Copies of this chain bind each other. A is one copy, B any other.
Amino acid sequence: MTAEIICVGTELLLGNTLNTNAQYLAQQLASLGIPHYFQTVVGDNLQRIHQVIDIALKRAEILIFTGGLGPTPDDLTTEAVASFFQIPLEEKREIIEEIAGKFAARGQIMPENNRKQALIPAGARVIPNPTGTAPGFILQPYKDIVNHPQQKLTIVTLPGVPSEMKRMWEETVIAFLESQGWGKEKIYSEMMRFRGIGESALATKVNHLFSLTNPTVAPYASPGEVKLRVSAKATSVEEARKIMNPIVEEIKAIAGEDYVGSDDDTLERVVGKLLQQRGETVSVAESCTGGGIGHMITSVPGSSAYFCGGIIAYSNEVKIRQLGVEVTAIEKFGAVSETVAKQMAWGVKERLGTSWGIGVTGIAGPGGGSENKPVGLVYVGIAQPDGDVVAYEFRFGENRSRDVIRQLTCGEALDKLRRHLLKG
């Protein structure tokens, strides 16, 4: 029993709309354990919607449409489904009354073209739309034809407005799918996050797990972060955990400190939890990141428990006056140097009175690089509670964008702190 997602709308083909509906429905199908292997986007064109139906019903049994249910002449989904299966459209009086009632509630009269939204293929079940005017429907065109090879074929239509679509999916479609016996075995998953290791290097270490079938293990990458998704097919969350846990533990053992956390445990949350466990605080001194590390730390609700603030020291003068960086250090080593990163970390820790201090200085580009100090060169200083200050050098590469270099710098700075916090 597989599904296919079909999104209808010329605005998707023009790139005016980001297709968040496909992602939502994909997540929903995955969690219900209903596999789907294809998604199709098609414009507001009757003939091409017919083509898409023709292809989809050969490879899927549940066709889920979004979009094309509006009141305008270019909204064609209902008409296309009905004409493809040669089923007549019926005007539903109760839908007209409901739509007219919604307009009346806003003190308006229903425009004549909204009558179109009350047309439903004969024999279809209406999916009520509590917030908008476009109802959807569930149609099983061959349900009553015994031994028809596509007897179970199910068409679901939903509007394109994401909030309406989601509510109708949650309130009507899930229950219908479950009533058909689909979605009994669901897919549960844990997204494991890693830092300080590349996608290939991690993949090499856990290569033997990629061939598993239940649970499955799959890699994902974004700048600075690699993820492994461990998924299990099961009838309950407890059963799923039993299937996943041994593999999750094995991966944790393999990855060691490179494992950051899972699911909602982002880097900034994990750093916050570790600081709270230790009863410690941190402050930041930021040059090239301009406040990005502070912004990241404070994205976590309750971060005031361990973060009091910091100094954005973009100019040398602020580094010197607000952080106590030595003029001679800047003259001798340059503002982008190990020494200055250390002095920044120490300065902010001392002046703000925190357990830890982070100091960051680097060349984010695109200008400002030299042969000795290319774009992408970054120093992270960590001042520790015992008074020790260490620094780390990163070379993110001259070909990376300013945004990516700054994003990587924020992540690496917090990750270095995380690794220090893990030590006794």
Contacts and interface: CB of A to CB of B under 8 A. Distances in A.
Contacts of A25: 15
Nearest to A114: B200
Question: Most chain-B Cβ atoms within 10 A of its Cβ — which of A111, A161, A291?
Answer: A291
Interface in A21-48: 22-30, 36-43, 45, 48
A370 interface: no
Contacts of A308: 314-315, 317-318
19 contacts: A11-B220, A16-B220, A19-B22, A19-B23, A37-B43, A38-B42, A72-B210, A105-B397, A106-B397, A111-B203, A112-B204, A113-B203, A286-B294, A289-B295, A294-B312, A299-B403, A301-B367, A309-B315, A309-B322
A298 interface: yes
Contacts of A191: 16
A17 B227 CA distance: 12
A293 interface: yes
A14 B23 CA distance: 8
A397 B200 contact: no
A304 B295 contact: no
A71 B203 contact: yes
A307 to B, nearest CB: 6
A116 B24 CA distance: 33
Number of this chain's copies in the complex = 2
A12 B26 contact: yes
Contacts of A402: 299, 301
Nearest to A25: B15
Interface string A134-166: 000000000000000000000000000101000
A198 interface: yes
B38 A40 contact: yes
Given A102-B397, A220-B16, A397-B105, A312 B309 contact: yes
B38 A302 contact: no
A422 interface: no
Contacts of A352: 318, 322
A401 B199 CA distance: 32
A212 interface: no
B24 A12 contact: no
A343 to B, nearest CB: 15
Contact of A210 (B18, B73, B406): B73
A311 interface: yes
Contacts of A292: 291, 295
Given A71-B199, A291-B295, A298-B290, A229 B16 contact: yes
A10 interface: yes
A402 B163 CA distance: 12
A284 B218 CA distance: 43
A108 interface: yes
B40 A400 contact: no
When A and B form their complex, which 7 residue pairs have the shortest distance between CB atoms, in order from nearest? Answer: A291-B291, A290-B298, A291-B294, A15-B27, A15-B26, A39-B41, A308-B315
A324 to B, nearest CB: 13
Contact of A199 (B70, B198, B220, B397): B70
A395 B105 contact: yes
Contact of A310 (B107, B210, B312, B406): B312
Interface in A190-209: 191, 198-201, 203-204
A313 interface: yes
Contacts of A16: 191, 218, 220, 229
A213 interface: no
A314 B298 contact: yes
Contact of A41 (B38, B55, B204, B366): B38
Contacts of A396: 106
A258 to B, nearest CB: 14
